[in-house]
Amino acid sequence: MKKRILTYLLALLAVLTMAVPAWAEQTEDDLFIYDTVGLLDEDEWLELELMADEISWRYNCAVYIVTVDDYEDYNSDIHYAAVAIYDGNDFGIGENREGIMLMLSMYDRDYDLFVRDGGTAEYAVNKYGRHQMTEVFLDNFADNDWKGGFEDYLSACGEYLDRAEQGHPVRKPLVKVLPMALGIGVVLAIAVCLFLKSKMKTVRQGAEADTYVTAEGLNLTERYDRYTHTTETRRKISKDSDSGSSDHSGGGGSSTSGKF
């Protein structure tokens, strides 16, 4: 009974904290899971809260989960809505307010994965890392498996922060980077060669010296037009229904957002 009462009090505190700014940085008594929509039951919430608390203080980088009805209650841009929540509640650990925050907006099933710039969080989870991390929880959310998705997110945060602490943060593999770099180099080389070739003039040897002399004097220029080919350019027209993730930055952090 005491455990149930304590859980209710903590859940109530989570809701109140979202409504009233906390004018101090994260302390060991503050929460990390703010389920204002009610996607989790009390036991699920408590389990995730303990998991987030353990990861956050182990690496001194807060990992948050926030659910809201509609992000536009905070800002018309989802990235700056996340910034408003993060800053408005003084989220983060330490002077740089280190933190990673996953926000779900239920009205139109939007998400935003926000990473605080300038320190541990950004080093551990860069742009590539954000895109990789979203893949571990979006499939859960598509099936309305909220607890499973949140667990996968928190586990990924722990893994990314641990790798960063060991000096091996998650980065795009070289096997993916090198082909692109080589491809760009080859294209540039071909372009330069074609440009130089276009500047060269075709020269053919005359049988007699008189070939190069006209009544007006020496003339070595030959002019003619030759049809070679026709170039056809095609452009893909994107449909309004196409969906995908997008990246944002500003307000002290960077984020990746999309639909779930």
- Tell me, yes or no, if the pTM score tops 0.75: no
In this prediction, residue 238 carries a pLDDT of 38
Number of C-beta neighbours around residue 128 at 10 A: 14
- What is the C-alpha to C-alpha distance for residues 235 and 156, in angstroms, rounded to an integer? 38
Establish if 222 belongs to a structural domain: no
Specify the DSSP element, H or E, that contains 129: helix 127-142
State how many domains the chain has.
Answer: 1
| pLDDT computed for residue 55 by the predictor | 98
The pLDDT of residue 70: 98
pLDDT at 228: 59
E strand residue ranges, the chain: 33-35, 62-68, 99-105, 110-116, 213-214, 217-218, 246-250, 253-259
Give the pLDDT score at 177.
45
The terminus-to-terminus CA distance of the chain in angstroms comes to: 36
Is there a domain that residue 22 lies in?
Answer: yes
**Is residue 254 in some structural domain?**
yes
Range(s) of the domain holding residue 82: 2-171+246-259
Say if 238 falls within a structural domain.
no
Residue 8: the pLDDT is: 46
**CATH code of residue 97:** 3.10.310.50
Task: Give the pLDDT confidence score for residue 26 in this predicted structure.
Answer: 75
Does residue 47 lie in a domain region?
A: yes
- pLDDT given for residue 244 in this prediction: 84
Q: Give the pLDDT score at 84.
A: 98
Look at residue 180 and tell me if it is in a domain.
no
Q: 59 CB contacts (<8 Å, ≥6 apart)?
A: 120, 158, 161, 162, 165
Q: Give the DSSP letter string of 131-199.
A: HHHHHHHHHHHHTT-HHHHHHHHHHHHHHHHHHHHTT------HHHHHHHHHHHHHHHHHHHHHHHHHH
Q: Which two tokens stand for residue 259?
A: 């639909």
Give the torsion sign (CA, 122, 125, 127, 133). Answer: negative
Strands 246-250 and 253-259: antiparallel
Q: What pLDDT is attached to residue 153?
A: 98
pLDDT in tens, the chain (260 residues): 444 444 445 554 554 455 444 435 677 779 999 999 999 999 999 999 999 999 999 999 999 999 999 999 999 999 999 999 999 999 999 999 999 999 999 999 999 999 999 999 999 999 999 999 999 999 999 999 999 999 999 999 999 999 999 999 999 987 644 445 455 555 565 655 455 556 655 545 545 555 545 555 545 455 555 555 555 544 433 334 345 899 999 999 999 999 99
Domain assignment of residue 179, yes or no: no
Residue 241 lies in a domain: no
pLDDT of residue 208: 55
